[in-house]
A = this chain, B = another copy of it.
Amino acid sequence: MQDAPRPAAHDPAPLTPRVAALPATVPFVGPEAQERARGRPFRARLGANESGFGPAPEAVEAMARAAAEAWAYGDPEMLDLRAAIGARHGLGPEHVVVGEGIDGLLGVSARLFLEPGRAAVTSLGAYPTFNYHVAGVGARLATVPYRDDREDAAALAAAARAEGASLLYFANPDNPMGSVATPAEVSALVDALPPGCLLLLDEAYAEFMDPAALPAVDPAHPRVIRLRTFSKAMGLAGLRVGYALTAPETARAFDRLRNHFGVGRVAQAGALAATAATGWLEDVVARTARARARIAEVAAASGLSALPSATNFVAVDCGADGDLARAVLQELLARDVFARMPGPAPLDRCIRVTAGPDAALDVFEAALPEALAAARRRV
């Protein structure tokens, strides 16, 4: 302990030194905050990769029914939900951890495997909430640039080895670019994991992939956690339910730190019904594919190119540098289109647009040519 001045009675309670050193920033500003700042709502909500096609009607009904029973805590073991999720993946419930979204599971994972002196590896420009949780536990974060708009699996494994990393984050399909790794690349990444390093394989968008391209991962592998969510294809971002598929021993470790009652009765009921609604899911995946194609057409009509995407969003290359893309994004926001964009160059030559329903894409289609022209005048 260093010699700090003794706090006085009127002083705030001292945060831990680690927390005091954290920035007070947040991983994402929500569209609601932007709407409040603008003073008017967006007409097209295409920035958070939500599924505007909505949740399955069965899930809506299940939530409405559960609402009347919301006086009772949910099962903290979430056994019915874990069994249903596991069955969907050919696994027993002992392989499944359910948490408050992938975000919540990333937070617990960081606390299980990281501490000051340990390191994590991710791609520069990948999901910022992972970085947020790494910083929250005081661990070191090393980043690896994208290569050709894809996460560089081999370089990530090499960095994990060089850093002695305890966690490696890899998203497949990736966000924000929408690229997909081949099964062979994922297998090679698993094989190349250095001893002592656990792979967090974020598959939030996996339902949108060609199922034949999904990598096979040994569900008993002691150092791989696959992360899935009800927030994307299942259309339940507003419930906050994510899950991990992993070896039973790794799954049990979450019980040491997680908020055991954090996923309530209403959320469990909605997620359980959504798991069974396979017909709805197929339909959403098909509609999302059509929406992706439409975004590419809209981009092409303005002379822009859409990157291939295995997700429910499309990265649209604005054809120049980050200054132009940022200006396009601002002009879209000014035209009531909520979208986002990657952070670092050269990814930041793109804007990222969610593959949403036609009504929202109509607004985007009308706004993009104007936004692009206005942006080009500014930059």
Q: Are A256 and B10 in contact (CB under 8 A)?
A: no
Beta-carbon contacts under 8 Å, A90-125 to B? 100-101, 103-104, 107, 111-115, 117-118
Asked whether A36 and B195 contact (CB < 8 A) given A24-B252, A100-B259, A264-B267, the answer is: no
- Copy count, this protein chain: 2
Q: Are B223 and A12 in contact (CB under 8 A)?
A: yes
Question: Contacts of A222 on B, CB cut-off 8 Å?
Answer: 10-13
Asked whether A27 and B195 contact (CB < 8 A) given A50-B73, A113-B16, the answer is: no
Chain B residue nearest in CB terms to A110 = B16
Chain B residue nearest in CB terms to A197 = B13
The interface centre, meaning the residue of A28, A73, A197, A250 with most chain B CB atoms within 10 A of its CB, is A73
Q: Are A239 and B266 in contact (CB under 8 A)?
A: yes
Q: Are A60 and B50 in contact (CB under 8 A)?
A: no
**A282 interfacial contact with B, CB 8 Å:** no
| Cβ of A184 to closest chain B Cβ, rounded Å | 19
Q: Which of B1, B7, B53, B259 contacts A104 (CB 8 A)?
A: B259
Asked whether A259 and B103 contact (CB < 8 A) given A67-B64, A238-B73, A270-B70, the answer is: yes
Q: Which of B18, B60, B263 contacts A70 (CB 8 A)?
A: B60
Beta-carbon contacts under 8 Å, A49-80 to B? 50-55, 59-60, 63-64, 66-77, 79
Question: Contacts of A33 on B, CB cut-off 8 Å?
Answer: 75-77, 79
| Cβ of A218 to closest chain B Cβ, rounded Å | 11
Q: List 12 A-B contacts (CB under 8 A).
A: A1-B117, A6-B196, A13-B223, A14-B113, A50-B72, A64-B67, A70-B236, A73-B238, A100-B262, A101-B261, A240-B261, A266-B266
A contacts, CB < 8 Å to B: 1, 6-16, 18-19, 22-24, 26-28, 30, 32-33, 36, 45, 48, 50-55, 59-60, 63-64, 66-77, 79, 100-101, 103-104, 107, 111-115, 117-118, 136, 166-167, 193, 195-198, 222-223, 231, 235-240, 247, 249-250, 252-253, 255-257, 259-267, 270
